[in-house]
Structure 1
Amino acid sequence: MPGDWLTAAFLLAFPSIAMLVQGASSAVSIGAGVISLAALCSRPAGAPYGYAPLQRHGVALCIALCGPLAAVALSTISHGHPLFRTWDSPSRFLLAIPIFLALRRAPPRIFVWADLSFTLGALSALALALFMPRDWGDGRIGSTFLNPIHFGDLALALGVLSAIALNWWRKDSALWRALKVAGLFAGLAASLLSGARGGWAAIPLVALLIVWELGRNKPLHWKVLMPVAVALLLGLVYGLSGTVRDRVNDVSSDLTQYAQGHRDTSVGIRLQLYEAASTLIAEHPVLGLGGDGFRDKMTSMAKQGALTPTAAAFGEGEVHNQLLAYMANYGMVGGLALLAIYIVPAVFFAAKLKSASRTTRRTALMGLSFALMFFIFGLTVETFDLKSTVSFYATMLAVLAAITERAEVESDLPHASNRSTATAKALAAKPARRTP
């Protein structure tokens, strides 16, 4: 990106803007993609900041980001009705490619501006929930443009990333640690206010991942006590929060009612849609039904008794499962492309967990946690049906992947041992002064 100040502003502000301004996530990602593409064409490779050639994991990441659009295009064209509007959301994955490649050329000192970005994003989400809330019904809070599920999931992801960012570049000051911990609780609180229980399923899994990774060189008692502490904390939240307790208990109640034939509960509607999607996938396994194919089948399936009218009405909006939605509309081709969007980045970041660079390992943990959370989010809602959420996911992947590679390359450059002190100071000197 031309201008280090522009890159710094993008790294710092993107999560907050995405939460606060309608359409900003998509607009900023488009702008960043275009600017990045121009920078890639105008700046000579390797100058002025040395960086390593793209390795196989980076190449695989770029290929995976092309997958959803390719699958949607192939399926819709094969059915004779391209429906170009269905190409819009998956096309946002492509924008992440030039952002990733351009950020790999940025000077390392620029990346410290990302230090508080997740914290500010989580705090922005809580501020919205407290001071400018939109009640979407039943006391569930979202924003004016994000429903409670998407709002709560994004806030939760930002809160978790804020916590992982503790001591990201060096040992944080007391103020920086307090801010990042506040970001964690802000994300959790905003998620709690949203009532988005599907996202809560990610919390224990991500907590275990974080404890496992950070506990590699810790003593045995730390490895035992930390999982116990996490379990006790989750139990405490369940016991003290009526919202969490009621939302979790509702799952059991809905399942009981479903077994008794009362299918139009929150969980029951989802189960009906999952069964309908599975049936349609079996009938059209390779290329699916094409764009909007699942939606167009809802009326006929309701008439056949496969769905209740209420479930069919919900199904015209979404399947409430990202993988089943892609497979129903775009077949196995779409399903594989979607899985690659989760798995390839996860493999990319997992490989970097063994890096000699501490900053690289911490950034890789952020990226792996982020991909895992979005996969779990997608089990109960279509995370990529909105341009804002797909832009957010793809852009954050690009940023975290670029920082991961850039930090590792810096640590591996020739004579790095002679420059390690200077580099550390450039990356970490007085974060409170560097980040407004």
Structure 2
Amino acid sequence: MTLGTEHGSTAGHHSTLLRFATAGSVDDGKSTLVGRMLHDSKSLLSDQLEAVERASRSRGQETPDLALLTDGLRAEREQGITIDVAYRYFATARRSFILADTPGHVQYTRNMVTGASTAELVIVLVDARHGVVEQTRRHAAVAALLRVPHVVLAVNKMDLANHAESVFADIADEFTAYAQELGVPAVTAIPMSALNGDNVVAPSAHMDWYGGPTMLEHLETVRVTAEPAHAPARFPVQYVIRPQTSEHPDYRGYAGLVASGSLHVGQDVVVLPSGRRSSIGAIDLLGERVESARAPQSVTVLLADDLDVSRGDLIAPVSSAPAVTQEFEATVCHLVDQPLVPGRKVLLKHTTRTVQAVVREIESRVTLDPLSRHPAPGRLVANDIGRIRVRTAEPVALDPYVVSRRTGSFLLIDPADGATLTAGMAGESFVARAPGGSGA
């Protein structure tokens, strides 16, 4: 456990944008925490605050219910619970934020997966009166499965526990021990009262025994990067540009977003899944020629050779190309009520590529508390997390999720109506296939 030791003064090396998610059991105060941060950091427009005040008065509350600032759906406010992921965007003088406020009910684990899938930090809230409960461990396990780089434990409602240091220490020690078993590298624990604003934006006068950062201070200063600096370059082709103008009659560029790593002119690359090789002849960024590009810039890449490249292909360095496969294992979270069963035909969407696929086998279902696997469950239902084997009709260039959260993730889609069925994270087990070979 760390008490804010991850934050530092090297702000110049920090990303200017932080994507983070909140999670916790019902009534642990997730929405109130975020509402308090928005309010106390003066990140609200006057009409937003007035709307919350009116809504609070209509519910018979004398003071503004700050939780309404993040309860994004009307149904949420009417029922008094958060039933979906509410996204909010705000900024302070030091950093911009994209927040995913996820629901606390166990039946909405899929929403936690959705909210945390792109997060660089997850705040897990715990009620100081109740301590670590089943849903706390579930959310910690989801954060570990998704390999969220930073986990913050917010021990909330300390005012209802007499602001006792021993209560905070016991909860922080228990949660940290469990998180470490899951492989979470570090936990930053912060005691607070979101309702009263203690240690949210301003330090608490009631907990002078705590010497770490406030929640907002930690969010503003924690080091985050979209991908590790050593991550191999990955460039999924989104669009082929052939303007056919008199000025550039032979222009053929491949537009997309650099998913990880960096590209540079002259670099030897391979186009997957075909396996054809070339080198980067030029890179266009916002209409200007540049020598290099890095994640997450959107650029147009021109190759030195005239190759047959189309949307869904992946350009990668020859020296660190991903595996090309048509069969692999993955950890998935099933998102819909209709069960996922062996033999189910689906579409698999990976980066910009969509191919037909079939679920060959459901190997196991994961129980998050305690963390264990149940072999051959026969099916996965909504909110289940499990291990499956997938076979695709065409090859895909896939990284293990442990290598890249961007090129190691995928979606399974219903071919009949286009609905998303399952979110997946590719494992280490691939059935190798030579690039450019015939499909099964």
TM-score, with normalisation over the residues of structure 2? Answer: 0.25
> Per residue, is there more strand in 1 or in 2?
2
Relative contact order higher in (CA < 8 Å, ≥ 6 apart): 1
> Per residue, is there more helix in 1 or in 2?
1
The structure that has the greater radius of gyration is: 2
